[in-house]
Structure 1
Amino acid sequence: MRCPRLLIENADLAAGQRLPAPEDRLHYATRVLRLKDGAACRVFDGRGNEYHARLETTGRRAGVFHLGERAADATTPALGITLLQGVARGDHMDLALQKAVELGVTRIRPILFERSRSAGGHKGLERRQEHWLGVIAAAAEQCGRNELPVLEQVTEPAEALAAEGSTPGKTERHLALLADEQGAALSQILASAGADARPQSASVLIGPEGGLTDAERELARQQGWQPVRTGPRTLRTETAAIAMLTLVQWALGDLDGHGPSDA
């Protein structure tokens, strides 16, 4: 049976530590995971530190994690990938973020495109931001990742596309990819760049439900975003995120078994 993992942020974890359990984490451990007094688990801080632990319940709403030895190395992805995800409706957005965590993105920038607004994506953004943080944390607990991607605040398209694009003035080799049915295959884009131009980082841009407008697509092109097709079928926004991230991680990241030292 897989050992339960709990994220405890803002804690300086160390072997041999007696760590008082935050109330929400204790509730999750005892009510959701059904851990009993003395149960083994793992505790991680979202910054790459993860330790074996034992839960001691000292009261109905009190408990302590006794930390043992380090349980895993940092799971830092081999390639720095930023996901620019068009804000989508509830469960569509949640699934895109959840799978982005599993697929090893290092940063997530939700973008308020025109069709995000028309679908009501501009409503309750502060509350949704907190919800998304919870989705990211839960995904990390479940997939074995011990460092969390950074979740940026929701931004407007012009600012984000310029910041994350691949314009000639940038010093590092950066690949900016837009999911687009009319684009080229990723293998063609990489081949045309040449073997000596292997990207040092990548950004992946996914439109909201309904995709980008023509004006937004043209703005992306002007900022150096290269359209990439993901097959002959039209994909939902969350499926497009999964497909694009998988393609990039397979071609350049760690889905083929390579680690950071091999990249």
Structure 2
Amino acid sequence: MRRFFYATGSESGTDVVNEKAVTYPQLSTLPIGASVELTESIVHHWCRVLRANIGDKGVLFDGFGGEYQVQLQTISKKQAAVTLLAHVDADRSASVFTKIGLVMSRGERMDYAIQKSTELGVTAIQLLTSHHGEVNLKPAQVEKKLAHWQQVAIAACEQCGLNRPPLIIAPVSIEDWLNKPVGSDIALAISPMMAELSQDPYYQVLQQPADLRLQLSVPAAGQPAMPKALPAVLTQPSPYIELLIGPEGGLSDEECRQAQSVDFESWQIGTRVLRTETAPVVALASLATLHALSQ
């Protein structure tokens, strides 16, 4: 069955239908058997593009836990509604909470990094600029690009079965991110469609200090293949790890010093230089494997 992200709330999920604003509720507040109006994005994709018919079944998830089997009840030119058939208490989140500080790259490479990180269960991605970075967004571009990258993550969730989308956080410089106090209000720096969801207890780990901070480094003599603290941290049931991943040209010496000054440890994965869009995939897969082996 097709899976769709159901954006809740008044800011992130409001369409104007017949000149009336529609606010989409959290699905868990509704009883099984209730009728639910679909968001405009789902109506467009499911009913117009995929040409769904009344009686067709699908799956909705709103990020607050689990997913809902639904059946199309009504379809009109501008609207569609489904009936909630059942709740499936499926949690496919990664066992390791992770936040990636990722220096932005161009075009499809950035989309790839976000898409694959989502499939591997990343909790949040903090977009970064750096001395050697090739992307610096103008203020007028931020909202549009942030919405695009958040949608890339959501589409990956719809495909892979992840029911809790990662938060994509608006870009800042590496220096500003490293100096930002723990607990800064993430809701002010994400796409409006995620504002209500970001307050869910699942995401509150992002307001806490990480159990370990790792800076992915290019192969160099003396760089540790395995940070000393990593094995012990991975014995915890649900550790929280922050990763810093630089651009194609690598982090500058000053950025490396700044990262080390706030407890980032170098982590060299293998003997080859990984592209900036490959590094998140390798790092997340490695953490998941090492964590599973340590339990």
Q: Deviations over 1:48-83 (max 9, x none)?
A: 241100113432332111111112323343222111
2:278 pairs with 1:235: no
Distance in structure 1 (CA, Å) of the matches to 2:289 and 2:142: 33
The amino acid that maps onto 1:121 is N
CA contact (8 A) 2:103 2:246 kept: yes
1:185 paired to 2:225:
yes
The question of 1:142 aligning with 2:159 is answered: yes
1:207 aligns to 2:246 (yes or no):
yes
2:90 corresponds to 1:73: yes
TM-fit CA distance, 1:163: 4.7
- The 3-state SS of whatever aligns with 2:92 is coil
Larger displacement relative to structure 2 (55-64 or 90-99): 55-64
Cα separation, 1, equivalents of 2:105 and 2:112: 10
Aligned equivalents of 1:175, 1:248: Cα separation in 2: 12
Aligned length: 246
Alignment of 1:220 with 2:218, yes or no, is no
Query: TM-score with structure 1 length normalisation?
Result: 0.83
1:100–1:242 Cα contact (<8 Å) kept: yes
Amino acid corresponding to residue 158 of structure 2 in structure 1: E
- Report the Cα offset of residue 190 of structure 1: 2.9
Q: Aligned AA for 1:29?
A: W
Query: What is the RMSD computed on CA atoms of the aligned residues?
Result: 2.6
Q: 1:213 to 1:198 in 2, by over 3 A?
A: farther
Tell me if the contact between 2:150 and 2:167 (Cα under 8 Å) persists in the aligned partners: no
TM-aligned CA distance change 1:195 to 1:227, over 3 Å? closer
1:112-131 alignment runs, 5 A limit: 112-116=129-133, 119-123=134-138, 124-131=141-148
**AA matched with 1:46:** G
Query: Which letter maps to 2:26?
Result: D
* Aligned amino acid, residue 185 of structure 1: A
* Structure 1 residues 99 and 196: alpha-carbon distance in aligned structure 2, compared to 1, 3 A threshold: closer
**Closer, same or farther: CA 4–133 of 1 in aligned 2, 3 Å:** same
2:171 match: secondary structure: coil
Which residue matches 2:170? 153
Alignment pair present for 1:9 and 2:12: no
The AA in structure 2 aligned to 1:96 is A
Matches of 2:280 and 2:234, distance apart in 1: 26
- 2:200 aligned residue: none
Q: Which residue of the partner structure matches residue 23 of structure 1?
A: 40
- Contact 1:102–1:140 (8 Å) recurs in 2: yes
TM, length-normalised to structure 2: 0.75
SS in 2 for 1:84: strand
